[in-house]
Amino acid sequence: MHGRRIGGHEIAGMVLPCRFDAAVAALKKHLLALDPALVVCVGQAGGRAEITPERIAINVDDAQIPDNAGRQPVDVRIVKNGPAAYWSTLPIKAVVAALRKRGIPAAVSQTAGTFVCNHVFYGLMHALRTRPQVRGGFVHVPFLPEQARDGQPSLVLSVMIDAIEKTVAVSLGTQRDIQAKGGQTH
């Protein structure tokens, strides 16, 4: 998606390291260099069958498996004196409704877990706390079909790209999220 334009904004895509010690530092470097209007972080959640915008980031790293640097923190605060959690500022229910309308499986996820994805989401929202004009959040995507094993759910890349493009468009064009019942998982 890097270089594409959506709603008059150019997309700047980048890959962050899947490391507790480096992901947020890399993200902050990009935030300073780009001065974005919107930040949508994306991570993979094996086992999920839907595109899942995350509702909340919590201030804890508690890894069941090691990150790509071999680190496996347990019950460690992401920001020592930071708040317990940050809410997404993306219109997550409007995103889910728009994705479903396109026939893309989607649901609101109540938590981003406690691995690197949540670490990045919390770090993003902590960095944006002084920039209320910049919306931000996190979206989990399923495995690709070639990654799925033993009947695990998956989605093809083209559907995921369509979903993220729609997430960006809805987030840029929706000032207030909708109130809707249902659609929640996790």
Q: Delimit the domains of the chain by residue range.
A: 5-141+159-174
Of 50, 119, 126, 140, the catalytic one is 140
Q: Is 54 a catalytic residue?
A: yes
pTM above 0.75, yes or no: yes
**β-strands 9-10, 38-44 pairing:** unpaired
Q: Tell me the pLDDT band of 180, cut-offs 50, 70 and 90.
A: confident
Of 117, 126, 165, 186, the catalytic one is 117
Residue 14 has pLDDT above 70, yes or no: yes
Whole-angstrom Cα distance, residue 26 to residue 15? Answer: 9
Q: Is 140 a catalytic residue?
A: yes
Q: Tell me the pLDDT band of 53, cut-offs 50, 70 and 90.
A: very high
Whole-angstrom Cα distance, residue 57 to residue 137? Answer: 9
Residue 183 has pLDDT above 80, yes or no: no
Residue 72 has pLDDT above 70, yes or no: yes
Mean pLDDT over 10-32 rounds to: 96
Whole-angstrom Cα distance, residue 93 to residue 126? Answer: 22
At residue 133, the pLDDT reads: 93
Of 54, 119, 126, 165, the catalytic one is 54
Fold designation for 5-141+159-174 = Aminopeptidase (3.40.630)
Instruction: Please give the C-alpha separations between residue 84 and each of 52, 119, 144, 158, 171, in angstroms, as whole numbers.
Output: 22, 13, 33, 36, 25
At residue 68, the pLDDT reads: 97
Q: Is 119 a catalytic residue?
A: no
